[in-house]
Every structure is written in structure tokens, then in C-alpha cells.
Amino acid sequence: MTSYNANMMAVLKRLYMGLILFFMYAPIAVLIIFSFNASRSRGTWEGFTLDWYIRLLNDQHTQRALRNTVLIAIFSTIFATAIGTVAAIGIDKLKKRSRTAIMLVSRVPVMMPDVIIGISLMMLFLFVFRTLGVGSLGFGTMLLAHVIFNVPYVILSVTPKLRQLDPNLYEAALDLGSNPLRAFVQVILPELWPGVVTGAMLAFTMSVDDFMVSFFTTSPGVQNLSIRIFSMTRRGVDPSINALSTIIFVVVMIMLILINRRDRRLIHKNAEDD
């Protein structure tokens, strides 16, 4: 009786997971299948075609949007990682009270709804431009906005590593005749590195995925991929969106598999070291 019950439970568990997976992947599967559909219709299948991919490859707006997304992701990641790492080290050295206060303010961009970050940064940029009499929203403001919302993710990833750090390490390096800069680069940084890498990867994905903040901090002329997709969906049925989604899906999947492999290799390596 119990084994019958246990089997029933196992079947139910699998069924439940299957249903949720179906729910999670249904819209993605539909997008991929219909990216090869010869008809414009989103509901009926009328034969195989690659037309939408070809059209996408020839679409200047999408190409420019893709370039913006990649450039902003790379540069905002570099800036945010540098600022966040240095800030995390500085914060760690503070007294407890000021540390708590600064960490609380640092978290604001993570806790606030995206819409509010978006409009408040838009107001700041326009306010500054109006006061100075020059400047306008565009690539620069979008990049700066991405750096601003990415810094906390780096800080939150580096801080735990700083806690694990042996405080004597830095002193030891100095005692052994190293100068402060060299001690930092050759002794402290390698210890923090895993946290820095995690923070950078988080920042990169946040930047690629962002819509809201970008939407408010750019001008209609400068789009990233998310804004491009949004404006395409506003204009109604366009199977090019499906083609674009399929490409994004494949790229994301490959990236995740690579990261996963790397993590597993690291775990194996650490296990061997131990």
C-alpha cells in the first residue's frame, strides 16, 4: 500500500513538473515554430520559410539596436564592476554605522521599482541638461543609467568575499616589502576575484535584459534591443519578432550552458585542490 502511494506520489510530482514546464515553454516554443511560418498569421501554419530571418538581417533598426545593447552591456559592466569593487572595499573598511547607512542607500536601485528608477534618472538628466543649456537624452544617458543600476549588484557580490578575507593578508604583504598598490593587485584582488566575476556577469545580464530604465533614459532615435522589440510589438503582427526571439533564445541557451560547464569545472577543480 505504501509503495503504491509512493509511486502515485512520484507520478503526480512528475506530472505537476511537466505541466509547469509546459506552461513555461509554451510561448517560447510557439515563437520559435512561427518564426519559420510562411504566413504572416500568428495562428495558422502555412509552410516553412526563412524569410523572416532574412528580413531581420536586412533590418537596419534592429542591427543598430543590437549594437547598442551589446556596447552598453559591455561598457556598463566594465564601469560598474570597477566602481562597485572599489566602493565595496571602501565600505568594508568603514565603521559599522556608516557602513550600514551606505549599504542601505546602495540597495535603493535594487529595491525600487524599475519605473521609478527610470523616471527619476530621466528627471535628473533633463534637469542637468536644462540647467547647463546643453545635452540631450541618448546613448550616453542610457549607458550612465545602466552603470547606476548595475553598481549595487557588483557591490552585493563582492562584499561577501571581503568578509571572508583574512585581514592580516594585506598587512603581511606590506611587511614583506610590497607597496600598497602591488599588495592590492597581487594579494587582495585575486581573493576577491570570484565575487568580482559574479558581479560582472550579473551586471551584464541585467543590462542586456533591461527595458524600463533604458526606455526612460534614451531618445526615440537611440534604441536598444528591448525597446526595439517593444516598438515592433506596438506596430502589430510582425513575424520578424519571432525570428529575433528565436535567435535570442538560442544565444541565451548557449551562454547558460557554457557558464554552467565553467561552474562545474570550477567545482571539480576545487574538489581536487582540497
- Rounding to the nearest 10 degrees, give the CA dihedral for residues 212, 214, 219, 225: -100
Q: Does 42 bind another protein (CB under 8 A)?
A: yes
Report how far residue 25's alpha carbon sits from residue 148's, in angstroms, rounded to the nearest whole number. 33
On the 0-12 / 13-18 / 19+ scale of CB atoms within 10 A, 168 is exposed
Per-position DSSP letters for 127-143, written without gaps between them: HHHHHHS---SSHHHHH
Find the binding residues for another protein in span 209-268 (CB under 8 A).
Answer: 209, 211-212, 216, 225-226, 229-230, 233, 241-242, 244-245, 248-249, 252-253, 256, 260
Using the contact rule CB under 8 A, the part of the chain among 48-56, 121-129, 133-141, 191-199 near another protein is 121-129
213 by DSSP, 3-state: which?
helix
Using the contact rule CB under 8 A, the part of the chain among 36-44, 46-54, 132-140, 187-195 near another protein is 36-44
Q: Does 123 bind another protein (CB under 8 A)?
A: yes
Of 30 and 58, which CB lies nearer to another protein in the complex structure?
30
Closest Cα to residue 142, out of 212, 231, 83? 212
Q: How far is the CB of 194 from another protein (least distance, A)?
A: 19
Which amino acid belongs to residue 116? I
> Do 212 and 174 contact (CB within 8 A), yes or no?
no
Report how far residue 136's alpha carbon sits from residue 222's, in angstroms, rounded to the nearest whole number. 11
What is the pattern of x (binds another protein, CB under 8 A) and - over residues 154-193? --------------------------x-------------
The footprint of another protein (CB under 8 A) covers 10, 13, 16-17, 20-21, 23-28, 30-31, 34, 41-44, 83, 86-87, 89-91, 93-94, 102, 105-106, 108-109, 111-117, 119-124, 127, 144, 148, 151, 180, 205, 209, 211-212, 216, 225-226, 229-230, 233, 241-242, 244-245, 248-249, 252-253, 256, 260
